[in-house]
């Protein structure tokens, strides 16, 4: 009857002795644990570098960011398990624009192209390569030269925080605000579809202003994926902005994603084709094609080109908003009025006088 109690008492005694000995050797045990953790990490990085053909990156204190043949390590492994190849892509965010350009800061690459073409993968793989390089690891690329990144900022994906009263778009704006308020010249920023959670013109306006602020104020190296093709025209005015697009092709009426990044801007988003691949009813897809054809009859490129030429840059807007307003006769006359001391008849006469002055 006492055997179970005696066995439990012995177990507790042995455990207490072991715990006491462990506490007495806590410093040595912690040192061994840290050493084993470091060996585990280094061994894992060395093994994957050898198996997946990673290369040693060049890391320095410059603003360079040049990746040749970069790959996404997780996506590449998933494709390899299915016997499919991963398409590598180059990325150059180095702020060298030309001999005659004295602009400092990194390059902003605007990435356009359809959904499913690989824009988000391209953004994330370059961010992962930067992180791997700075922890001392080899990287999934053919060649890599990365200037040290002080902070990595990411605004990718869609999420909400309904418990705190934040919609998807509100969360997007909060995160974008944090980036614009904190990113420096040595930061790396990846932004995916800024402005997509609101009306078209609202979203385009916000994305446009964010792009200008990144270029003029933050001056960070950045990848900016968007479906607002109008933003590609900013390359005419922003010297460190480059346009990249995901290559696609049509084959017998079917869209084929090549997953290749090329210089230039995409001319369309292939949204209707992607919707068909997702399984939308044929009638819906056909109706969407018809509506799209009618909307595209109006050429939007010329108005956008004029808009780019007419709108001042972000920095100019700041200087103009800070300048005091010049003399305005109507404003002067309005400031001279005191509504609290006017009778209704006097107020009406003053209104007619202002209207007459405006017409003249």
Model pLDDT for residues 278-335, shown as the tens digit of each residue: 888 989 988 888 888 877 776 555 556 666 666 666 554 555 455 444 567 777 777 7
Tell me how far CA of residue 351 lies from CA of 250, 329, 345, 355, in angstroms: 64, 14, 10, 6
* DSSP secondary structure, 50-73, as one string: HHTT-BPPEEESSS-EEEEEE--H
Give yes or no for residue 243 having a pLDDT over 70.
Answer: yes
Q: Say which residue the tokens 């690329």 belong to.
A: 141
pLDDT recorded at residue 102: 47
pLDDT recorded at residue 255: 76
What is the average pLDDT across 76-95? 92
Give residue limits of the domains in the chain: 1-51, 53-321, 327-359
pLDDT band at 100 (very low <50, low <70, confident <90, very high): very low
* CATH hierarchy code of domain 53-321: 3.40.50.300
pLDDT recorded at residue 101: 45
d(CA 241, CA 235): 5
What is the average pLDDT across 69-84? 93
C-beta separation of 129 from 116 below 8 A: no
Give me the chain's average pLDDT, please. 85
C-beta separation of 223 from 122 below 8 A: yes
What is the average pLDDT across 38-45? 95
pLDDT band at 98 (very low <50, low <70, confident <90, very high): very low
pLDDT recorded at residue 265: 86
pLDDT recorded at residue 351: 83
Cβ contacts of 272 within 8 Å, gap of 6 or more: 285, 288, 289, 292
pLDDT recorded at residue 141: 96
């Amino acid at each position: 009857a006492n055997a179970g109690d005696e066995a439990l008492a012995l177990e507790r005694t042995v455990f207490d002795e072991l715990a006491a000995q462990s506490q007495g050797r806590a410093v040595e045990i912690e040192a061994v644990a840290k050493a084993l953790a470091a060996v585990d990490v280094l061994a894992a990085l060395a093994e994957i570098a050898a198996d997946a053909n990673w290369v040693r990156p060049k890391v320095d204190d410059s603003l360079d960011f040049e990746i040749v043949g970069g790959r996404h390590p997780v996506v590449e492994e998933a494709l390899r398990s299915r016997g499919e190849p991963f398409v590598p892509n180059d990325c150059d965010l180095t702020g060298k624009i030309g001999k005659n350009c004295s602009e400092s800061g990194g390059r902003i690459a605007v990435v356009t192209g359809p959904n499913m073409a690989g824009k988000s993968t391209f953004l994330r793989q370059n961010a992962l390569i930067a992180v791997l390089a700075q922890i001392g690891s080899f990287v999934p690329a053919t060649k890599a030269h990365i200037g040290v990144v002080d902070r990595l900022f990411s605004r990718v994906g869609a999420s909400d925080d309904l418990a705190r009263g934040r919609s998807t778009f509100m969360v997007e704006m909060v995160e974008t605000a944090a980036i614009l308020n904190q990113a420096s010249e040595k930061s790396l920023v990846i932004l995916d579809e800024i402005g997509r959670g609101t009306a078209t013109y609202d979203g385009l306006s916000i994305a446009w202003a964010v792009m200008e602020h990144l270029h003029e104020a933050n001056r960070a190296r950045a990848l900016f994926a968007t479906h607002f093709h109008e933003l590609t025209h900013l390359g005419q005015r922003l010297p460190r902005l480059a346009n990249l697009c995901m290559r696609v092709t049509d084959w017998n009426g079917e869209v084929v994603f090549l997953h290749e990044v090329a210089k230039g801007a995409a001319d369309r988003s292939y949204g209707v084709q992607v919707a068909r691949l997702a399984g939308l009813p044929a009638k819906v897809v056909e109706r969407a094609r018809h509506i799209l054809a009618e909307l595209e009859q109006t050429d939007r490129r010329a108005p956008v080109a004029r808009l780019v030429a007419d709108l001042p840059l972000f920095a100019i807007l700041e200087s103009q908003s800070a300048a005091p307003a010049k003399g305005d006769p109507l404003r002067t006359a309005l400031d001279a009025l005191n509504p609290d001391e006017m009778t209704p008849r006097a107020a009406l006469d003053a209104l007619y006088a202002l209207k007459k002055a405006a017409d003249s």
